Amino acid sequence: MSELTDLSISELQAGFRRGEFTPSDALRALEARISAVDPAIDAYLSRDFQTALAAAEKADINLPLGGVPIGIKDAINVLGESCTCSSKMLAGFKSPYDATVISKLRAAGAIPYGRLNMDEFAMGSSTENSAYKKTRNPWDTTRIPGGSSGGSAASVAAREAFATLGSDTGGSIRQPAALCGVVGLKPSYGRVSRYGLVAFASSLDQIGPIARTTKDCASILNVIAGKDSHDSTSLDLPSEDFTAKLGGDLKGVKLGVPKEYFVDGMNPQVRAQVEAAIKRCQELGAEIIEVSLPHTSYAVGVYYIIATAEASANLARFDGVRYGHRAKNPRDLLDHYMRSRDEGFGSEVKRRIILGTYVLSSGYYDAYYLRAQKVRTLIRQDFTNAFEKVDALICPTSPDAAFKIGERVDDPLRMYLADIFTIATNLAGICGISVPCGFVKEEDSHLPVGLQFLGKALDETRLLGIADAYERASGFTTQRPQTV
């Protein structure tokens, strides 16, 4: 039944309800696909087939996601399963509880299935920073899948998952979705509870879905959104049907093109595909308006001050006493702390902790962290001003297609610039989605390109409607990699 794994969530559920196959059939087909394909992709860290099968056999297919297996990024806690954040620091750790999003998935009938590889503690853009394995892009297994939710995106593209959950701190859902040719949604800050997500940068992190289609992302957001008493930053909003504007068109929609998002150094093939997608939106009835986000050039610098400062504070708990790897036979308490953290954390995590500790240190707080927060306010205001003129923004997700494994590991600045078009969304707290918009040719590979739509805060329903209209007209989500 391997053909079952080609189905979207909505197609899978329709098959359940017609009696063509069962949730158990779907899970067995998925497991067979993973067993056949994952040795070439390395998206999964672990999975518990028997527990998932028991849930599938009891699944109520009349629930919103009844019987649908959903893969989980290894930073989101699932009761009784490992949650390592792809770090040696948390090797062997078992989650004592379900994250709120997992509880909501279960209540909607979904089956959390498998732990997906990621950059360690979500710090990276290529999934090369995992302590356990390097996930590969299904379109070309010599290339990276993006990050930090690389396992989540690659598994969906390789038909090893129907959909997955990732987390997005500066583009970690949208960028890998773009590089793997799938759809990734970053909800507005506060739309989805972060309780049970291992924190990287608490004012930026947001959980969201990666799937084959915009409709599937909307269906998952319907389930996981909402106020949570365990997360004081989650917003108490009226319930909303995020599928309400799907199936429409782009007639009369005003789409803003930020002139700062078409920069020198961008891959010319990527630029051409994105410009063709913008033209296609215009042909579909959208009004295209150039807008300016004048503080865009500061976004990367601001992000790597705020994110590293928050990471330094959040990761202080992993000291070998309260949590995490414990060094053997320390000479004293200081030796215990230093060796436990040195052995447990990888180089990128150490780099960001050092940066974050520095910008928070006495004498530098005002010069760096406080100033970055002020510029963050200006970046947020840029978006507010733009949304007074347009319904959504349209722009590239990434300046380049998937690059070769190992190509940027010794060049952190070049690696950080992979998120140049996604970071500001998190700083502003707005919503964004990446959908496939074409391919570029690199050597003998056809590599996906992502088109990003950005919406004002809490305007996911309209954003999803716009993305869905383009997706249906373009047809790129129906294409799949042939290498696996």
Question: How far apart are alpha carbons 210 and 149 in whole angstroms?
Answer: 9
Percent of residues in the chain assigned helix, strand, coil, to nearest 5 = 40, 15, 40
Crossing angle of the two packed helices 299-314 and 347-360, in degrees rounded to 10? 100
Q: How many CB atoms lie within 10 A of CB 279?
A: 11
Query: From the candidates 87, 126, 148, 234, which is the catalytic residue?
Result: 148
Q: CA separation (Å) from 441 to 267, 341, 420, 446? A: 11, 42, 22, 5
Question: Catalytic residue at 24?
Answer: no
Contacts with 271 (C-beta within 8 Å, 6 or more apart), sequence order: 262, 396
Q: How far apart are the first and last CA of the chain?
A: 17
Residue with tokens 């390395």: 42
Question: How far apart are alpha carbons 199 and 99 in whole angstroms?
Answer: 12
Give one word for 190, left, alpha or beta, with left for phi > 0 and alpha for psi -120 to 50. Answer: left
User: Greatest CA span in the chain, whole angstroms?
Assistant: 70
Question: How far apart are alpha carbons 138 and 154 in whole angstroms?
Answer: 6
Query: From the candidates 73, 104, 186, 456, which is the catalytic residue?
Result: 73
Query: From the candidates 8, 95, 103, 172, which is the catalytic residue?
Result: 172
CA angle 152, 436, 478 (to 5 degrees): 90
Question: How far apart are alpha carbons 6 and 156 in whole angstroms?
Answer: 10
Residues designated as active site:
73, 148, 172
